[in-house]
Amino acid sequence: MDKEQLKTKVEALQNNLQVKHDELTEVQQQLNVARNELANAGKPELSADRACDLVDLLQGMFQDILNDCDTSDLSPEFSIGYDNTIELDCLDMSSIEVHSGDIESVLEQIFNIVAEESDNS
């Protein structure tokens, strides 16, 4: 093969490689969509508006819990930095409790929670 034929061959192979790369990218995107659909199969649906309402209610609940906590139970640990500034090293928030009833009451504002029926046949 002479130089021109080799250049033509290299160019054809590069074009073929680009086509295959584009096909691979498209298949990868289809695979990602299929995986996402599989992950969401059977999940109950929640509208974006209801999800925003739920997030707002949960944020409010956590905000109330943090506002009502006794700061003396937080056991702050301070240190002095190299530039003589006082820094908060640690804040123990383990005394702040989130009760399942609080979360359940928020969920009940958004959802109709029903007991699951069990089949004991």
Q: CB burial class (10 A; 0-12, 13-18, 19+) of residue 69? A: middle
**pLDDT for res 121:** 52
- For the segment 87-121, what is each residue's pLDDT rounded down to a tens digit? 998 888 888 888 888 888 888 888 887 777 766 65
Output DSSP code: residue 94: T
- For the segment 17-68, what is each residue's pLDDT rounded down to a tens digit? 999 999 999 999 999 999 988 888 888 888 889 889 999 999 999 898 888 8
What is the rounded distance in angstroms from the CA atom of residue 4 to the CA atom of residue 10?
Answer: 10
Q: Which amino acid is at 30?
A: Q
Cα dihedral across residues 67, 72, 75, 77: positive or negative? positive
- For the segment 66-77, what is each residue's pLDDT rounded down to a tens digit? 888 887 778 888
Helix intervals (H) in 69-118: 100-110
**pLDDT for res 29:** 96
Alpha carbon dihedral 9, 15, 17, 22, in 10-degree steps, equals -170
Domain boundaries, the chain: 1-43, 46-121
**pLDDT for res 35:** 93
Mean pLDDT of 5-14: 93
Asked whether the predicted pLDDT for residue 1 surpasses 90, the reply is no
The helix (run of H) or strand (run of E) holding residue 57 is helix 48-68
**pLDDT for res 21:** 95
**pLDDT for res 86:** 94
